[in-house]
Amino acid sequence: MRPISWNGPMWTAAEIVDRLRERGELWEPVRGAVGLRGETLRLYEELAAAIGTLTRSVAEEEWRVPAVLDFASLARADYFASFPQWLTVASHLSSDPGRLERLARSADPAGLVGAMSDPCEAALPPAVCYHVYPRFAGQRVDSPTLVTVEGTCWRHEGKRLFPLERGWAFTMREVVCLGTRDAVETFRRRGIAATRALLATLGLGGEVLPATDPFFAPTARGRRILQALKGLKHELRLPSGPAADLAAASFNHHENFFGEAFKIRLPDGTPAASGCVAFGLERWLLAFLATHGPDSAAWPSIFPDTPWKRTVSNPMEEAS
């Protein structure tokens, strides 16, 4: 992968993570799930707030979504034919007294938990926008409808997991747009412009490039080609080291895929189009640290008095 242009010195992701671990500000109790504290947490929260402000400025509503999704909604969204390779599911310990007693008496209860659990009952969300479409199922959207959501997402990517860069659990902030095809495309392009403005404020390099999703076989190639051919997906790639970059945001046009799947209609009765702009917050943290270094004295201010917040009240509408 080609590095994104950036003129300054860069830290590697490994150097950043080592430094944060030394300071006790990052830990990973389970591979792929990180905790943060101290200055690093403060920075993360500021970045999350900046991105949250950007998305709230365009969305009519903010939702607090539950921690799990039902399988039926994912099936309706064709998830199991699209990205089943990532899915994480939730179960619980069996309520059977015999099993619980066996666990309680075991010398190695941690090793027995899997065997003593019931079948899984819910999915941990692989993207927060999957919470949104089912709530509009069967409804009509009379004008562009925008919702913003933030939550923990789960994607198990095996050996590729690395703290902050590729988490099993990570935080996603999204804006979902439902409306006409043109309205969704306008929303997507404004999202790209507003995100570029935020990059400049944060002193980050980066490029928005065409991209495709890693669809699961056997339909993967056809879906990937169509997505690329129609220009339906772009990613913001941020530098994350001297010769590395990562996708820190994506700008997606779904055409009428979710509108058809969930019977979301326009006033003329045709399926609504949808799109989403998604930000991976831990990746913004890593890119910021790789660019500006792990020591807070070198970080540019992104607190409430920073210029973009004062002057850009509605960046997705004003940027173009």
Partner 1 sequence: MSTADRMLAWLNRRFAEGGRTIGYRTLLFEDGLIDSIRILEIIAWVEEASGRTVPDSQISMDRFASVERIAAHFLERSDVDGR
The residues that touch partner 1, with contacts defined as CB under 8 A, are 219, 221-226, 228-231, 255-256
Task: Identify any residues that bridge with 251 across adjacent strands, giving them in sequence order.
Answer: 234, 277
Task: Compare residues 31 and 221 and give the one whose CB is closer to partner 1.
Answer: 221
Q: How far apart are CA 211 and CA 27, in angstroms?
A: 31
For the CB of residue 207, give the shortest distance to partner 1 in the complex, in Å. 19
Classified as helix, coil or strand, 73 is helix
For the CB of residue 225, give the shortest distance to partner 1 in the complex, in Å. 5
For the CB of residue 232, give the shortest distance to partner 1 in the complex, in Å. 11
For the CB of residue 183, give the shortest distance to partner 1 in the complex, in Å. 18
Asked if residue 153 lies in contact with residue 127, where contact means CB atoms within 8 angstroms, the answer is yes
Task: Compare residues 203 and 222 and give the one whose CB is closer to partner 1.
Answer: 222
Place of tokens 């609504």: 272
**Burial code of 105-128, b = ≥16 C-beta within 10 A, e = fewer?**
eeeeeeeeeeebeeeeebbbbbbb
For the CB of residue 5, give the shortest distance to partner 1 in the complex, in Å. 22
Torsion of CA 263, 267, 273, 275, to 10 degrees: -110
C-alpha closest to that of 179 among 147, 216, 129, 142? 142
